[in-house]
Amino acid sequence: MDKMNIGFAMAGGMNEELRLSMAVAGFAAGMYFIGTMVLQVPAGHIAEHGSAKKFIQYSIIAWGGLSFLTGLCRMPGSYWQLRFLLGWPKAACIRLS
């Protein structure tokens, strides 16, 4: 779901508000996938050695909180960091499915 959110946000004027060029916005979209790739192994390790129910619960809460925080970003750097971290709950869900 989040892969498409950045496209809708850019069409809604996010790139003008944050002063993002198309290349910078594309990099922000890519950070999501880099975060998923890098954080998938630790997320799988945590899911495998702990309670899967609690892990899914915390992943959903983390995804919601990080998604909320991306709406409050005013600078490209913080937006990139949050997009990277937003890949962690996705990596957790991929690993458990």
One-letter amino acid identity for 24? V
Tens of each residue's pLDDT in the chain, 97 residues: 556 677 777 777 777 777 777 787 778 778 888 888 887 777 777 777 877 777 778 888 888 898 898 888 888 788 888 888 887 777 666 555 5
The tally of domains found in the chain comes to: 1
Q: Is 93 part of any domain? A: yes
Helix (H) or strand (E) holding 62: helix 52-70
Helix (H) or strand (E) holding 46: helix 22-49
Q: Is 90 part of any domain? A: yes
Q: Is 4 part of any domain? A: no
**In sequence order, what DSSP letters do the residues of 13-30 get, joined into one string?**
THHHHTT--HHHHHHHHH
> Domain residues for 51?
32-97
Determine the pLDDT at residue 44.
Answer: 76
